[in-house]
Structure 1
Amino acid sequence: MSGDRPEISYEQAREELVEVVRKLEAGGTTLEESLALWERGEELAATCQRWLDGARERLAKAQAAHEEKPN
């Protein structure tokens, strides 16, 4: 994400991405508007992927720590 825009939550990014897709599928936008929507969709998809990657990493660390503890 750009440095001037704060990170948004996964849920916010996902909801906005759904809205972007809906607008693109509905059509009726100019080429410039469609390109702007596509670019925003790419940003939102990348944000969602970063959140998911971070969650996977945290889960893997938690599982590894749990497996290392003696019973």
Structure 2
Amino acid sequence: MAADKAALEQIAANGYLVNVNRTKRTKTATINVVEGEVSITVPKELDMSRIVQIVESKHTWIIEKLAIHEQAPP
């Protein structure tokens, strides 16, 4: 399982970083915001340009989720 993990990839978006997780086990992209950290899980062979497009298309949603995490009590 550790062999599936490549070097950590990140995308610098508008005011936040997005961790890119590539896996053979998924067919669609999934974006998660957990404890103020944004990550996207994508199919292993998806082009980086397409990943950037997906993140940009969900920018408003990501900003809303980050705001919710900032306002939540610790």
TM-score, normalisation: structure 2: 0.30
Larger radius of gyration: 1
More strand by proportion, 1 or 2? 2
TM-score, normalisation: structure 1: 0.31
Q: Could you say which structure has the greater relative contact order, defined with CA pairs below 8 angstroms and 6 or more residues apart?
A: 1
